[in-house]
Amino acid sequence: MKSLILDENVQYLKGVGPTRVKHFEKLGIRTVYDLLTYFPREYEDRNNIKKIQDFMADENVVFVGKICTRPQIRRKGRGFSLTYFYVTDTTARVQVTIFNQSYLNEKLEVDKEFAFYGKVEDNKGHFEIVNPVMVEVEKIDKIKGYYPIYPLTAGLKNGHIAKIISELLDKKYALPEVLSNSIRQKYALCEINYALEQIHRPNSIESIGEARKRLIFEELFMLQLALLTMRNQNFATKKGIKFKDTNYDEFTKLLPFELTGAQIRVIDEIMTDMSSDKSMNRLVQGDVGSGKTIVAAIAMYVAVKNGYQASLMAPTTILAAQHYEELKKYFSKLNITVELLTGSTTKKNKDIILEKLKNGEIDILIGTNALVSDNVEFKNAGLIITDEQHRFGVKQRMKLNAKGENTDVLVMTATPIPRTLALMVYSDLDMSIIDELPKGRIPIKTYVVNEKLEERVDNFIKKEIDKGRQAYIVCPLIEENEELDLTAATNIYEKYKNEIFPEYEVGFLHGKMKKKEKEQVMQSFKDGKVQIIVSTTVIEVGVNVPNATLMIIEDADRFGLATLHQLRGRVGRSTFESFCVLKTKNMSQKCRERLGIMVKSNNGFEIAEKDLELRGPGDFFGIRQHGLPEFKLANLLTDVKLLKLSNDAAKEIIMKDPEFKLPENKVLKQELFGRYNEQLLNIGT
């Protein structure tokens, strides 16, 4: 048992030098614990021995064969050697080539039998295996089995990470068991260290399944325990502000439109919370374009009217500035002072703003997460709102929650998730849903097209722009092969800029740009100086450029439906008709069906449900789901059953032992507070 060393930095491990430390850091791996809980994304099945005559180019194969030609050895200069020979299994023969492993040479005798694993490469018409994994045939079990494939980052090889983790497991680092015997029995879950071994070095498909079940359960269970604990804290200790005057007619009179029924209902729910003496902890879910900003504005108006300050926090500078511009229009007419504080605010201005905030000269502060930093002091904050809360993640939400002593908290999100899920993922919050779009919105027309229609799409873009409209073109960027995707996106940008639309201004936005540069591009787009913006998904959730009516998405099949829906929500924000074109090279039935959902529905909740249905719980390996808390293994869309079970288990514990005083919950408490320590500080120690 070496559990104390779990905190040790990976830099002290054998075979981990400074470069690899950097790679690991990129993957969020800092400690031995992080490494042990860095789980494979999938497994390669290396169980079936393939006949050489059945080889196909580019496939990975396990095979057994005898060396049938005398190995030829070439040395070229220092440290470079090349050995090649043929291997036969009686069905056919194949060439094996080995670079720079001359120590192998003495083992290579004609007629000796080996087991190999490697990739079949087509070398000018004949097959060749280069640098295979190779063992004497008696040791074939070293090759066979399910081989873990880890999510990687540029420069890091799968073999390296597999080896380092495997060595750790050999050393028998033990993770603490947080699930009591009774929970493990009740939900048929295996022991943690067995799970750890099996997830990295599985014996069978079944044991992978068992290990995953256990680890996913634990992840979900711990999160829910933390959320429920927080909710308990709020109920038990937090007395809220009682806002007496909740009439907001004066504000609505200024609006150029009528509030929708759903907006009014949600505002009512908020007012009920605000006027009670319990503190508010409410989530407003509303589809893109459903008008959440105004709901937030009205809540802030009421807070100010009752003599308190309010703040609105957005995930990016662009969004914060956008809210500021829009809301200032109303608040200035009501004699309410609003200020904007972001990373771009100059030091001098920042100091002035902070001073005024402390004196109570500012009523409403809008900004980025700079707002939760320690030196921001309100005179008397009554309400804190977070917009696009999913971008901040569960932990930040907890932090914010711990900060506001008895202030009311409202969080808003445009990521619709099915209600059953929401109840668990947001179990610390009450929920309101804006399920209606403002009147008069023309539904966005959505099309799925393949490459053949590319020219027609380009002509269509041209027509819209000549009418004075603007377009977004979004390219996928998946972190795993970031470099490659960025190159692809750059090519697409250059193609549009130089070949297809040389007569227009085309801008480019991607995550590697400096914040300032991004803002500049976005601003020129807002000002209409740039007509087309090519971007990776960094175009922000919530960006509002009503004149943009075209959303073109390249390789749309690579995005989740929730993300597609979010992206589409960037258009259709005015009385002009808007369009979304989903381009794809994948015309499989499954893909067409999935993208077809986007064509049929404009409703985020419906899309989320359908997506869940279509993907089903059968989907073995996780996909990163935007907007939901990030897990190492769990996938909220596909692990619904485990989510439900872990929710039951967490509730049972909280009911029986809310402060984790029972001896059987001692390890659990330690781990829970270890993982969520900042957020759960106030609970009884």
Write out the residues near ligand ADP by the rule CB under 6 A. 257-260, 263, 286, 288-294, 414, 438, 542, 544, 573
| Size of the chain in residues | 685
Contact of residue 544 among Mg ion, ligand ADP, none (CB under 5-8 Å per partner type): ligand ADP
DSSP 278: B
Question: Which letter does DSSP use for residue 235 in this model?
Answer: H
Nearer to ligand ADP, 177 or 269 (CB): 269
Nearer to Mg ion, 457 or 564 (CB): 564
Q: How many CB atoms lie within 10 A of CB 543?
A: 19
> Helix crossing, 292-305 with 317-333: angle to 10°?
50
Which of 571, 628, 634, 562 is closest to 594 using CA atoms?
562
Q: For the CB of residue 274, give the shortest distance to Mg ion in the complex, in Å.
A: 21
Give the residue with the Cβ less far from Mg ion, 118 or 315: 315
Q: Return the one option of ligand ADP, Mg ion, none that residue 286 interacts with (CB less than 5 to 8 A, by type).
A: ligand ADP
CA distances from 149 to 61, 128, 430 (A): 15, 23, 40
Residue 69 or 574 with smaller CB distance to ligand ADP: 574
Distance, in Å, from the CA atom of 220 to the CA atom of 222, rounded to the nearest integer, reads: 6
**Cβ count within 10 A of residue 623:** 11
Residue 420 CB, nearest distance to ligand ADP (Å)?
23
Give 148 or 315: the residue with its C-beta nearer to ligand ADP.
315
389 binds, among ligand ADP, Mg ion, none (CB under 5 to 8 A by kind): none
Nearer to ligand ADP, 292 or 305 (CB): 292
Residues 149/41, Cβ–Cβ less than 8 Å = yes
Rounded Cα distance between 95 and 498, Å, is 47
Which residues of this protein are in contact with Mg ion, per CB under 5 A?
Answer: 542
Closest residue to ligand ADP using C-beta atoms: 291
We find the least distance from the C-beta atom of residue 130 to Mg ion, in angstroms, to be: 53
98 φ/ψ angles, rounded to the nearest 5 degrees: -125, 130
Which listed option, ligand ADP, Mg ion, none, makes contact with residue 410 (CB within 5 to 8 Å by class)?
none
CB of 168 to Mg ion, least distance (A): 45
Residue 26 phi/psi, 5° resolution? -60, -30
Which does residue 578 touch among Mg ion, ligand ADP, none (CB within 5 to 8 A, set by kind)? none
Decide which of Mg ion, ligand ADP, none touches 93; Cβ closer than 5 to 8 Å per partner kind: none
Distances (CA, A) of 503 to 297, 326, 495, 500, 520: 41, 32, 13, 9, 21
Partner whose binding site includes residue 511, from Mg ion, ligand ADP, none (CB under 5 to 8 Å by kind): none
SS3 104: helix
Shortest separation between residue 275's beta carbon and ligand ADP, angstroms: 23
Q: Which does 294 bind (CB under 5 to 8 A by kind): Mg ion, ligand ADP, none?
A: ligand ADP
Which two structure tokens, joined as six digits, stand for 393? Answer: 């993640």
Question: From ligand ADP, Mg ion, none, which one binds at residue 290 (CB under 5 to 8 Å depending on kind)?
Answer: ligand ADP
User: What is the smallest separation between the CB atom of 328 and Mg ion, expressed in angstroms?
Assistant: 16
Enter the tokens of residue 588.
Answer: 């499989």
Alpha helix stretches (DSSP H) within 426-545: 454-466, 482-494, 515-526
Residue 365 neighbours by CB distance under 10 Å: 27
Smallest gap from Cβ 292 to Mg ion, in A, equals 5
Residue entry with tokens 């258009």: 571
Closest CB to ligand ADP among 120 and 266? 266
Nearest distance, CB of residue 140 and ligand ADP, angstroms:
58
Q: What are phi and psi of 72, to 5 degrees?
A: -95, 130
Q: Least distance from C-beta 314 to Mg ion, angstroms? A: 8
What is the side-by-side strand order in the sheet with 281-286? 338-341, 364-367, 309-313, 381-386, 408-413, 281-286, 430-434
Q: Which residues contact 499 (CB under 8 A, 6 or more apart)?
A: none
CA distance 401 to 681: 11
Q: Which of Mg ion, ligand ADP, none has residue 259 at its interface (CB below 5 to 8 Å by kind)?
A: ligand ADP
Q: Kindly tell me which of 434 and 506 has the beta carbon lying closer to ligand ADP.
A: 434
Task: Output the smallest distance, CB 414 to ligand ADP, in A.
Answer: 5
Identify which of residues 255 and 478 has a Cβ nearer to ligand ADP in the complex: 255
Q: Smaller CB distance to ligand ADP: residue 439 or 514? A: 439
